[in-house]
Each structure stands twice: as structure tokens, then as C-alpha cells.
Amino acid sequence: MDSRSAPSSPKLPHAKLGYVGCKSKELGIDKDLILKADILDLKMQLDKQLAKAAVFKKSEIEEEWEIDLSKLDIKSVIAYGTHGIVYKGVYNGRDVAVKVLDWGEDGLHTTAEILALRKDFSRAVEVWQKLDHPNVTKFIGASMGTSELNIPSDEGKTCLRDGSCCVVVEYVPGGTLKKYLIENIKKKLSLRTVVKISLELARGLSYLHSKKIVHRDVKTENMLLDANGTLKIADFGVARVEAKNPKDMTGKTGSPSYMAPEVIDGKPYDRKCDVYSFAICLWEIYCCEMPYFDHDFVKDFAKLSSAVVHKNLRPSIPKCCPSSLANIMKKCWNVNPEMRPQMVDVVNMLEAIDTSKGGGMLPEDKAAIGCFFLQRPRGP
């Protein structure tokens, strides 16, 4: 080997531009080798930045659902969700809700993972923009980039990073169904109101299923009430088009108290997982209580999930609940997905219920004489 050659495996510091001017002779390192390392490092950094820019760049080909962010004015925070922050805003003079997603904010996602999430977001938007039903929130538009979007903060207006996306939908002023049920936890709801709300949810889900869309996160927190009390299904953050082969749909998606056993267990599932979740919502609408509130492990998701899957645990149906409603709950939360009815059939069953004779949950001050006890007095 030529004595002038560089050592066979020198331990180089991180190559930085300008390092060539260091005491390379004292280190016994060839300047040419350092320069090559500099160029290689620069190229790697450049490639990395270009790849990142490609992921976060707003599409040059405008999609029909792309909105003009200059016309969107963000006002205030409505809610903090699992998949992003929801703001109230104004778009073209119309009150809207804006959900902003920033997958890169926590620093936990790789560039490839963020790219996959953005593709999923784009697919969800493609689905949502085609929906038109009175019980589904109306889609207005979306943007694959939000660098031009100003978000209010304590310091004034701040811009989001290019990696963020946002979806804009109609603003529904009545709040969530969950909030409405909590407000009525003591006085409960009449059977007429229970059936009305449940029917609107069932009709909305039936419509989604007719379009081969599985919501996958059906819960009262994702249902909104407008100024007239009409229910609208919201939050399509994890919704997807139903796979032709059920085996292609797996993974735990949703909220533990509402998740179907097959979803919890990681088995393939289809639209029937929404039917199960609907049953839990139906129980909650009738009782105005949190599912499994009477169990010690209600906040221990691992124990709750195990009991649902392995012990067939379900919420306790009150004794005062009309059999017509109780039967719908039992059919919809059947452990076997194939035995659960389609949502269109649930709509028919709910429409057949006679609400003229009452049968709602008894108010809290009268609950000691019935409902979760042995007697069967009827509420309003």
C-alpha cells in the first residue's frame, strides 16, 4: 500500500463544509477524502430535504375540492380531537368548522409515514365530497397544504407548517350528542326523542353503508346536533371505503367502549362494526349514561376490551326499556357480525316503534322504583 494513502478506516467527524481548512495533516487524513465526504453529506442532506418537500408540497394540480385558503378566516378552537384540532371559522361569508391535521408536529412520524397519512387523507376527502344526506355533515372543501392558513394564538396569528392538511365542513351549532346526553343525565329523554335521534343516526349510517363507506368511529362524541336538533354524523377521520374482501380491513380503529369485538380482537371486519357501535349509542341515547358506567373497570380499556371479547360483556339494559328497543340493541351488538342486521333494517325496526304510550328512561328522582331494578314502570 502506498504510504501516502489515507488510513484504511479513518474515524471521521461529521463532515461539514469548511472542515477542509482544519488541521488535516496533523490528523493524517487526506484532504480529497474529506472533500468527498463533504460532498456525499451535502448530497444526502439535499436528497432528504427534496424528499420532504415532495411530501409536504401542495399539489400543483388543483383538485376540485381544493379551497382558497385566503378566503378562510379561523376564529377560535371548538375541540381537540384524536386526529387534530377543530376550529370555528368563516369561509366565503359562511360559518364553518375547520379540522387541522399536523402529523409531523410530534416528531414521531417518518417522512414515509406522513406521506401515507396524507394519501389516506386525500382518499377520505374524495369520498366525503360526494356525500349528500341530511344526517351527514356537509363537506365544503379541503387543502393538502396549510402554510397560508393563519391560526389565532395568544401571540396573534401564526402560520402552520407545510405538512399540515385541513378539511372544511358546515358548522353545526348545537354541539355534540354526547354533550346533549350529559345535559339530560338526570331528567332523561322521552321515548319519542330517543327514537327520533336514533332514527337520524341510523338513517345517516344506512346512507354511508349504501355508498360502501364504513365510518369506523361511531360514537356520540362524533355526532352533532344542529339548531333544530337534527343529528348529523361527523368526523370522517378514520372512515374508509369498504374493502371488497373483508380480510383487507383490519386494525384497531375507534373508541374502546364502542368498538366491536372483532375490531378489538384484530380480526377482519366490515360495515357491521358500525352496526355494533350504533347499538352502544342507542343504549347511551336511551339511558343518558356513559356505556359501562356501572363497572369498576370502565376506564381500564384493557380489562374492558377483554370482557367484551371473551365474556360477551355489554351494557346493562334497564328494566323499563321497551322490548322493541331492547331487541334492537341485542341484535345489533350480537357477537357474530353476520347475525347483526343491516342499518337499513334497523331504520325499519325503529320506524315501527310506537312511542305514543311512553317508555323512556325514568328520571333520576324516580329511578329507585324501576329501570335498573326489577319493576318495570314506564317513563315518558
Q: Which domain holds residue 199?
A: 177-369
Domain boundary among 170, 188, 219: 170
Mean pLDDT across the stretch 236-255? 54
Has residue 376 been placed in a domain? no
**Same-domain status, 311 and 360:** yes
For residue 104, give Cα distances in angstroms to 55, 108, 112, 189. Answer: 11, 7, 11, 43
The domain that contains 293 carries what CATH number? Answer: 1.10.510.10
Q: Which of 160-169, 231-240, 324-333 has the highest mean pLDDT?
A: 324-333
Q: Given this model, what pLDDT does residue 350 score?
A: 98
Report for 51-55, 250-254, 331-335: range of highest mean pLDDT: 331-335
One domain for residues 102 and 77: yes
> Regarding predicted confidence, which is higher, 1 or 165?
165
Q: Which of 170, 203, 225 is the last residue of a domain?
A: 170
Q: Average pLDDT in the 12-16 region?
A: 40
Q: Does residue 120 have an active-site annotation?
A: no
Lowest mean pLDDT of 35-39, 65-69, 193-197, name the range.
35-39
Q: What is the mean pLDDT of residues 369-377?
A: 48
Min mean pLDDT across 138-147, 149-158, 213-222 is at 149-158
- pTM summary value: 0.75
Residue 59 lies in a domain: no
State the total domains in the chain.
Answer: 3
- Within this chain, do residues 269 and 189 fall inside the same structural domain, yes or no? yes
Residues 215 and 162 in one domain: no
> Residues 319, 240: one domain?
yes
Q: Is residue 225 part of a domain?
A: yes
> Has residue 77 got a pLDDT over 70?
yes
Residue 60 inside a domain? The answer is no
For residue 108, pLDDT over 50 is answered with yes
Residues 156 and 189 in one domain: no
pLDDT band, very low/low/confident/very high, at 192 (cuts 50, 70, 90): very high
Q: Is there a single domain that holds both residue 31 and residue 140? A: no
Q: Considering the chain, what is the average pLDDT of its residues?
A: 78
In a domain, residue 330? The reply is: yes
pLDDT band at 110 (very low <50, low <70, confident <90, very high): confident
Residues 82 and 198 placed together within one structural domain of the fold: no
* Mean pLDDT for the stretch of residues 37-45: 50
**Do residues 309 and 260 make contact, with C-beta atoms less than 8 angstroms apart?**
no
Q: Residue 149's pLDDT is what?
A: 72
pLDDT band at 119 (very low <50, low <70, confident <90, very high): confident
263-298 confidence digits (pLDDT tens): 999 898 899 999 999 999 999 999 999 999 878 776
Catalytic residue among 95, 106, 154, 217: 217
Query: Is the confidence at residue 237, as pLDDT, over 80?
Result: no
260 assigned to some structural domain: yes
Indicate whether 134 and 238 sit together in one domain. no
